[in-house]
Structure 1
Amino acid sequence: MASDSLHSTVHQQPSPNLTSFPIILKFEEVVYKVKPDHRGLCRGRSSWSSTEKTILNGITGMVFPGSIKRRTGFVAQDDVLYPHLTVSETLIFTALLRLPNSLTNNDKIAHAERVITELGLTRCRNSIVGGALIRGISGGEKKRVSIGQEMLINPSLLLLDEPTSGLDSTTAQRILTTIKGVARGGRTVVTTIHQPSSRLYHMFDKVVVLSEGRCIYNGPASAAMEYFSSIGFSTSITLNPADFLLDLANGIAPDPEHASEQSEGLEQERKLTREALISAYDKNIAPKLKLEISNSRMDIYSFNKHASSRNDPTKAEQWCTSWWYQFKVLLQRGLKERRYEAFNRLRIFQVISVAFLGGLLWWHTPESHIQDRVALLFFFSVFWGFYPLYNAVFTFPQERRMLIKERSSGMYRLSSYFMARTIGDLPLELALPTAFVFIIYWMGGLKPHPVTFILSLLVVLYSVLVSQSLGLAFGAILMEIKQATTLASVTTLVFLIAGGYYVQQIPPFIAWLKYLSYSYYCYKLLLGVQYDEEDYYECSNGVLCRVEDFGPIKSMGLNQLWVDVLMMALMLVGYRLVAYLALRRVR
């Protein structure tokens, strides 16, 4: 069903720099087909169907007030919102990112406040949006927030997919009243809807009714019942017009007296009903609609010619805001969104408890117990090589829907989002390993020299960044949490075995595997920081041996550490580049 309005009345005066440009939405003979996937059906049937299913079949229509990315608003059926942001924060951050540089931040915030007032969200402005596991605002309020995000740009064309889905009748009416007000403000509004109540149906100006992909009506909502009555489909009882139209779309005639009780006869009768409705549409409505579209072409041409002569701000620059501005706003929004989960008690307890437990197990390990000290250094490389990886795997799959929504509206550059998202995670990713090293390093009795401690800490943090990079790459490539975590599990297992501690003499034909493991380089760097080639340890009573000759250390080596630093740097940059390129494929 569609709604369009050319009334000039507005509820709130938009900002002078947010002029609404009229747009005519026109579609002619649109056909859309898909090949159904029947995997999972009974054994013996083909897993893929060779036949195509037609969704749209020759649909023609036009909705009056230019379609253009930053002049078009789209509200999806499911509300895609950050759960930890308040209503006010959600709309303000959207305004800061979507409105042009010609407006100051104060102007953008003021415009967001006007939209909050216009949509009746003042009462819940300081409440968090909430989500599946987080209590927040109601479903109707979420839908109004989603509509508000699109209204911020004062769109010429607003598209809504099932805006009343899952809402009660009263809330649905409030949403439709809001949408009706948007249409009266001089905007073109198109929405899909299934079986609305009668009072909702009468709020629409124009409806398009489809039956198995074919159009059976296109015209004023108030004239639909009269039209179907004129072609022989009338009912003697009072019905909700939407229910009546839905029956016709399914091939159910309004007079049940002659309906067949046999399934074969019923299906044939429905087919005949659909054919009669399509034939009537092709005869009575389609010619007038095509003539109307044909006549409108000159108007559209003259409008576009006039519009091209004006100074259109959207042509002056590709993006509404600069890269640096987008980065700052996205970073600020990311920190606010994750302020509740960034330093949650569970993660802090997990890391601190492991640090204290490890410190007690390696409590003041004597220098002569070199095997235990080497094991502690390997534990450093393993724990902080795998823990950040598993956390980073969830980053992009969890934000996939939000990224698609905001990128499709041209809100920001992918590079600014990528940098803000990854840098915003650094406080947590670096604070916890720092606390971990401070606890276990001194409890374990490692070399007490301050420089050695600082270098050991830097190596661990370096490994954290590389590990996080690989996790980001896995998540961005697969964009599915279960698959990404499975791949991460296999990878960490291989890195653990090839890390240089468990297997010291790897067969030559597979020795290359260890050079793919960042845990191997981290472990080698920690050994190089902790020991020197000239160091000795007590290998037996009163006997000193060179550290370099100790088996596990000899297999790793204590020289050419700069090569290990360089290899980890290549991994750090390479993994993040792969993650960025993978995100560019997300549509």
Structure 2
Amino acid sequence: MMPPEQENGVAATNQTDPPISTSNVSPCPEPDRVRFSVLRHSLHPITLKFEDVSYSIKIESGQGRGCCSSPKPKITRTILHGVSGTARPGELVAMLGPSGSGKTTLLTALGGRLPGKISGSITYNGGPFSSATKRRTGFVAQDDALYPHLTVLETLTYAALLKLPSSLTLREKAEQAEMVATELGLTRCGNSVIGGPLLRGVSGGERKRVSIGQEMLVNPSLLLLDEPTSGLDSTTAQRIIATLRWVARGGRTVITTIHQPSSRLFRMFDKVVVLSEGSPIYSGAASKAMDYFASIGYEPGFNFVNPADFLLDLANGVTPDPRQEDDDQYQEFHGRQDDLQSTKQFLIHSYKKNLHPLLKEEIHQQDQHDSTKSSSRCWDNQWTTNWWLQFKVLLSRGLKERKHESYSGLRMFQVMSVSILSGLLWWHSDANHIQDQVGLLFFFSIFWGFFPLFNAIFVFPLERPIIMRERSSGMYRLSSYYIARMVGDLPMELVLPTIFVTVTYWMGGLKPSLITFALTLAIVLLNVLVAQGLGLALGAILMDVKQATTLSSVLMLVFLLASGYYIQHIPMFIDWMRYISFSQYCYRLLVGVQYSVNEVYECGQGSCRAYDFPAIKSLQIHNMALDVAALVLMLLGYRVLAYLALRLGHQH
């Protein structure tokens, strides 16, 4: 297998790196070198150039005049101001700067994912960001958005099935996933679950390597990473950066943001871009950074200092005190706030005077890859796989991930305990006690309205990071994800209410008829799907669990009161509320199938018609087909609304 430094004719530099330390080796050790052989034909080197990139947003000033004052005026805040630089195939470029300096914003802009208008120029091989460039770009966010119950190998395999082109067979895609896992040192933990806040899984470094592996599946020409070493120990961080360096040496362009690298990590970078409050103070070769700042009068007070620490101090406007002795244990700094700002302004001015003209000259030089056009048509298509394959893969992944949640012991206990308790409370209720039986039917409609509704509102807010990441990289259509989610929810959401109704119906002494039982079960399941659709719509519209929970509580309280059980004579001016209550339609249908028109019960006058019982008569059960139509209309309407909310939210 050809080593990465010889792929695509890209010469490697610094090939005599010291071996990676193997102390405290995790169950998933880092390989010495990363090699990618599959899909080598799809690697088209990308030269990224960005010139005078600026970006501003409008935020509230926060200067309100009182509780009843007019809306706060918005002010414009500049996040990036005139940032320039280049990144060529085979280079590892790092962006340094304090928190809030604009590193992530710049990286997002370079990845074509930043909303709003960006001034300046960003070119990829001399052209703008296109769908073909998007296919060859990998973006690893700071937070690892992964499904916790899937194993490492399952995560990579599903990503391979969705990302790799249709020209490859399913077996070839699976082999590519296994190869990437091997090359990233993930083989020995391939069968371990990813894990999450409530589930123990692989370590932080292994999770980060899984995130990188998902992007490496398509052998990207441009790889962007946001804080890949965040929260990792120094040894694991070195392994991650070493992996990225070998990835770059294979002819790829790798750009990463990093907060405070060690000196060992800093030596691995080919270029660095240093930002201070959105403005660049250095952009160029990492090995020349210290010499540049020394040339403008800034030298560290130590003989031995981490260059990254020194650059970050300068980005904060803090300069070393030359009066300190070299053998002091700590470096003292001086300067008031005015001095800090003046230092920053001097560094920015020096950059514009000394470095910016050289960068512009480098950017405007014609690169050999600038006019390169891809000959691989499969990457020019909007989607690498068809809708049906996306649906099948997403359905399989969803079922495997959510079965642990839907059939968890806690949820099973919750449903079964309520089922048995309600069955005991209504134990063999007499058919002559219509009030009790009507109460049980109302309990069916309310419980299986609340339960699925409150479970569904969490779906899209919790999965949003994963949806945004996968959709931004063009893995699948939103429609294929949504339909797969809806279909996959059916066995998950309908099994428990089926068990519940089966147990409670016969324990509660309702009409001993299989047809009546089947109709009752069908009505409850339809009610479950309607309630779930409303929950999905609320979650998709608000994308905030707390707000969605509050609003759904209010809505279900309204539906509860307007269902016709507690209040039988609703005033005319508010009578319209019962027509938007799906619980009311479910309750009427349950009562309608339980009692026939001519059915009687024992009363004070001997025998009375069940339909004349006050609680049933007030429901005005005349045409149950209209009630079914209303529920079906709500079922479709809520789910269409949820899809539209998802699509609009993704566009924004």
Match of 1:20 in 2: 43
Match of 2:311 in 1: 245
Give per-residue Cα distances to partners, 1:433-479, cap 9 Å, x unaligned.
11111111111111112111111111111111111111111111111
Give the CA RMSD over aligned residues. 2.4
Match of 1:57 in 2: 81
Q: Is the 8 A contact 2:533 2:638 kept in 1?
A: yes
Instruction: Provide the C-alpha distance between the structure 2 equivalents of 1:267 and 1:444, rounded to a whole number of angstroms.
Output: 75
Shift, 1:276, TM fit:
2.8
Match of 2:217 in 1: 152
Query: In the alignment, does 2:361 pair up with 1:275?
Result: no
Give per-residue Cα distances to partners, 1:211-251, cap 9 Å, x unaligned.
22221211111111112222222235221111111122122
Describe the SS at the equivalent of 2:272: strand
Query: In the alignment, does 2:276 pair up with 1:211?
Result: yes
Give per-residue Cα distances to partners, 1:31-78, cap 9 Å, x unaligned.
123345576999999995754432211111121224422111011111
Describe the SS at the equivalent of 2:200: coil
Change (3 A) 1:40 1:493: farther
Instruction: Provide the C-alpha distance between the structure 2 equivalents of 1:318 and 1:460, rounded to a whole number of angstroms.
Output: 42
Match of 2:52 in 1: 29
Give per-residue Cα distances to partners, 1:271-316, cap 9 Å, x unaligned.
332233223222221112111212237x565324xx4xx352222x
Q: Is the 8 A contact 1:77 1:160 kept in 2?
A: yes
Match of 2:177 in 1: 112
Describe the SS at the equivalent of 1:285: helix
Change (3 A) 1:440 1:262: closer
| Aligned equivalent of 1:479, options 519, 532, 543 | 543
Shift, 1:16, TM fit:
4.0
Answer with 546-555 or 508-517: which moved more: 546-555
Instruction: Provide the C-alpha distance between the structure 2 equivalents of 1:56 and 1:432, rounded to a whole number of angstroms.
Output: 53
Shift, 1:18, TM fit:
5.2
Shift, 1:116, TM fit:
0.6
Answer with 43-52 or 452-461: which moved more: 43-52
Question: Counting helix residues as a fraction of each chain, which structure ranks higher?
Answer: 1
| TM-score of the superposed pair, with normalisation by structure 2 | 0.84
| Aligned equivalent of 1:175, options 240, 247, 263 | 240
Instruction: Provide the C-alpha distance between the structure 2 equivalents of 1:62 and 1:348, rounded to a whole number of angstroms.
Output: 57
Change (3 A) 1:521 1:90: same
Change (3 A) 1:262 1:277: closer
Query: In the alignment, does 2:504 pair up with 1:440?
Result: yes
Match of 2:366 in 1: 296
Q: Is the 8 A contact 2:138 2:222 kept in 1?
A: yes
Letter in 2 for 1:55: I
Letter in 1 for 2:308: A
| TM-score of the superposed pair, with normalisation by structure 1 | 0.93
Instruction: Provide the C-alpha distance between the structure 2 equivalents of 1:472 and 1:569, rounded to a whole number of angstroms.
Output: 16
Describe the SS at the equivalent of 2:644: helix
Aligned-residue identity in percent: 59
Instruction: Provide the C-alpha distance between the structure 2 equivalents of 1:126 and 1:311, rounded to a whole number of angstroms.
Output: 34
Query: In the alignment, does 2:456 pair up with 1:456?
Result: no
Instruction: Provide the C-alpha distance between the structure 2 equivalents of 1:276 and 1:501, rounded to a whole number of angstroms.
Output: 75
Change (3 A) 1:79 1:42: farther
Q: Is the 8 A contact 1:18 1:153 kept in 2?
A: no
After superposition, where does 1:569-584 map in structure 2 within 5 Å?
569-584=632-647
- How many residue pairs align between the two structures? 573
Describe the SS at the equivalent of 2:366: helix
Gaps spanning 5+ residues in structure 2: where? 1-7, 13-32, 90-124, 325-331
Shift, 1:425, TM fit:
2.0
Match of 2:102 in 1: none
After superposition, where does 1:197-208 map in structure 2 within 5 Å?
197-208=262-273
Instruction: Provide the C-alpha distance between the structure 1 equivalents of 2:175 and 2:376, rounded to a whole number of angstroms.
Output: 25
Match of 2:630 in 1: 567
Describe the SS at the equivalent of 1:469: helix
Change (3 A) 1:18 1:559: farther
Change (3 A) 1:296 1:147: same
Instruction: Provide the C-alpha distance between the structure 2 equivalents of 1:114 and 1:8, rounded to a whole number of angstroms.
Output: 24
Gaps spanning 5+ residues in structure 1: where? none
After superposition, where does 1:6-405 map in structure 2 within 5 Å?
7=10, 11-16=34-39, 19-36=42-59, 51-65=75-89, 66=125, 67=129, 68-237=133-302, 238-257=304-323, 266-296=336-366, 299=368, 302-304=371-373, 307=374, 310-315=375-380, 317-405=381-469
Letter in 2 for 1:490: V
Letter in 1 for 2:470: E
Describe the SS at the equivalent of 2:139: strand
Instruction: Provide the C-alpha distance between the structure 2 equivalents of 1:18 and 1:540, rounded to a whole number of angstroms.
Output: 88
Q: Is the 8 A contact 2:61 2:75 kept in 1?
A: no
Letter in 2 for 1:302: S
Change (3 A) 1:8 1:554: farther
Match of 2:109 in 1: none
